[in-house]
């Protein structure tokens, strides 16, 4: 019923990207760290399209091994659930990326990582430490995969890409 109401603000990003889609194999939308309309538009864009197999489109969620990140994840999951219900969508979780992981931060870090892993769905695509190459690449204004193609960080990015596009 919602579809028949005409233009939906959540569809704005899709309208903008539609002319480009045929030129790309994969489109990644980097979202702002807030749960507003930009996030909804990105989530809407990442929904499972009609006739599309499960897990081909969806969301990859970077998280930290910290309690505040678990709280933020719960808010995002609720927003995804609400959007799916309101607009009759299916949005697949492609996986989590645990970033800036450091077991030396102790029990909160190690138990948080276990909690992320124990979710099972979404699965943890990669656990990435605090690595220097990305910062260096930014300083040199180069893509990570050109600056340090064999680094652990580049390998982690490949692991995320493989896991999210299977």
Contact residue for ligand ATP among 12, 29, 42, 99 (CB under 6 A)? 99
Q: Do you know the residue count of the chain?
A: 166
One character per residue 25-44, x = contact with ligand ATP (rule: CB under 6 A): --------x-----------
Contacts to ligand ATP from residues 108-147, by CB under 6 A: 128, 130-131, 134-135, 138
Name residue, tokens 């678990």. Answer: 70
Q: Could you tell me the CA-to-CA distances from 67 to 21, 59, 77, 116, 138 in Å, in that order?
A: 37, 21, 15, 11, 28
Would you say 117 or 140 has its CB closer to ligand ATP?
140
How far apart are CB 63 and ligand ATP at their closest, in Å? 10
The strands making up 124-129's β-sheet, listed across from edge to edge, are 59-63, 93-101, 124-129
Would you say 63 or 80 has its CB closer to ligand ATP?
63
Mention every residue, 6+ apart, whose C-beta is less than 8 A from residue 42: 13, 29, 31
Footprint of ligand ATP on this chain (CB under 6 A)?
33, 99-100, 128, 130-131, 134-135, 138
């Amino acid at each position: 019923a919602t579809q028949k109401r005409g233009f939906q603000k959540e569809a704005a990003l899709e309208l903008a990207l539609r002319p480009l889609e045929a030129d790309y194999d994969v489109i990644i939308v980097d979202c702002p760290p807030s749960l507003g309309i930009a996030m909804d538009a990105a989530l809407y864009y990442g929904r499972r399209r009609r006739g599309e197999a499960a897990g081909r489109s969806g969301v990859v969620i970077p998280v930290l091994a910290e309690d505040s990140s678990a709280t933020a994840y719960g808010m995002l999951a609720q927003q995804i659930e609400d959007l799916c219900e309101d607009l009759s969508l299916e949005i697949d979780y492609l996986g989590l990326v645990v970033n800036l992981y450091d077991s030396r931060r102790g029990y909160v870090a190690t138990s948080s990582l276990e909690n992320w892993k124990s979710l099972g769905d979404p699965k943890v695509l990669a656990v990435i430490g605090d690595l220097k190459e990305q910062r260096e690449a930014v300083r040199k204004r180069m893509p990570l995969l050109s600056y340090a193609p064999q680094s652990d960080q580049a390998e982690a990015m490949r692991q995320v890409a493989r896991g999210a596009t299977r």
